[in-house]
Amino acid sequence: MTDLSIQRALAEQAYAEELDQLAHNDRRPRPPNWRLSPWAVAAYVLGATLDNGFVVSAKYIGNPRTIEIAIATLTTDRALLLLGGPGTGKTWVSEHLAAAVSGDSTLLVQGTAGTSEEVIRYGWNYASLIAHGPSAEALVAGPILTAMRDGKVARVEELTRIPSDVQDALITILSEKLLPIPELGQAVQAVKGFNVIATANDRDRGINDLSSALKRRFNTVVLPLPATADEEVTIVSRRVADLSRALELPAELPAAEEIRRVVTIFRELRAGLTEDGRAKVKSPSGTLSTGEAISVVNSGLALAAHFGDGRLAAADLAAGLTGAIIKDPVQDAIVWRDYLETVMGEREGWSALYEACLLYTSPSPRDRTRSRMTSSA
């Protein structure tokens, strides 16, 4: 059972019962050191009803073939690269794949502009190193070295944020399944079951392209944005419910119609076209991803819970929508205002959200007369 004091449970903690049920009912062949068969891993990620009637929830909503290709890649000697724009669920899928395959999603390298080669390979306990020189005791194994020794899956998040020369430290590891430690005159050979799942963003600024040599070590699987509005509404609804429970927000979960409005706005601004295809709209500079839609609704729930009556209202969504859409204070503000006047203002049943969003684009967006907070403490 998950410790309720933990702010965010790991995948293997939050879904421990599902993983146990799958392992107990899994009779299919398992690759070396895998906790589940590839079929059971797919059932865990995509959702399924087991023979005993137990229902496994879906973690990914989209084309099942995408997940099947990713899982099949992990059974080979190729590493897996999950590629996509911000908010497409790359980290979410990576974590759940590692949890299902290895039972451990914590062997993680978080890529940043400051990630060094020591983080990819190994480091040293410098006090021990100075006192006794290079030794196995002074060696500090990183997540990838630990995964190699234990036959587990390591994760590298935001691979393209890592400087190019540091990225290439992965080439020998992925091609030879070997990590030389010249200071000790040794090399660590990967145990069967070892592999790497990397994620990369193909749209953000400040990314470093992978070298051709490193690209050849990966099988790339692209995670697209949800194909339909219904898919996106389902994803947002489920994640909002999960996060609301985890954060213990004292607010009612929003109606599907409120979530659909947020999703519709994001999809139209992303596509530059209204849902019915009748009118073109300008697109802002931001990505307006599914992840940002989840954040907008969650922020609205927090406002409703602590400064409202516990029910999500248009005013609670307006601030989050404005913040998500207006990244460039000049150009994006023009795009958003134009969308409000030409699209949202003309829609039947959208007047409350339209007026609330107009308030947040005015010179005094936090006019106290519009606050939902009660006057007495």
What per-residue confidence (pLDDT) applies to 365?
A: 42
pLDDT of residue 120: 95
152 close to 104: Cβ distance less than 8 angstroms: yes
**pTM of the full structure:** 0.89
**Which residues of the chain are modeled with pLDDT < 50?**
364-377
CA distances from 106 to 2, 12, 80 (A): 16, 10, 17
In 3-state terms, what secondary structure has residue 196?
A: strand
**What are φ and ψ of residue 34, in 5° steps?**
-85, 140
Beta strands, E only, the chain:
48-49, 55-56, 79-84, 108-110, 122-124, 139-141, 153-157, 178-181, 186-189, 195-201, 218-222
CA 176 to chain centre: 30
Joined tokens for residue 128 = 């021990």
The region, left, alpha or beta by phi > 0 then psi within -120 to 50, assigned to residue 115 is beta
What whole-number distance in Å separates Cα of residue 87 and Cα of residue 81?
Answer: 16
Residue 136 identity (one-letter amino acid):
A
Strand partners, 198: 81, 156
Summarised one tens digit per residue, pLDDT across range 199-248 is: 998 776 668 889 999 999 999 999 998 989 999 999 999 999 988 888 88
What is the per-residue pLDDT for 66?
A: 96
Tokens of 191: 């145990």
CB 109 within 8 A of CB 120: yes
Number of separate helices (H) and strands (E) present in the chain? 17, 11
Q: How many CB atoms lie within 10 A of CB 37?
A: 19
User: Is-contact 94 110, C-beta < 8 A?
Assistant: no
Give the distance between the most distant pair of CA atoms in the chain. Answer: 76
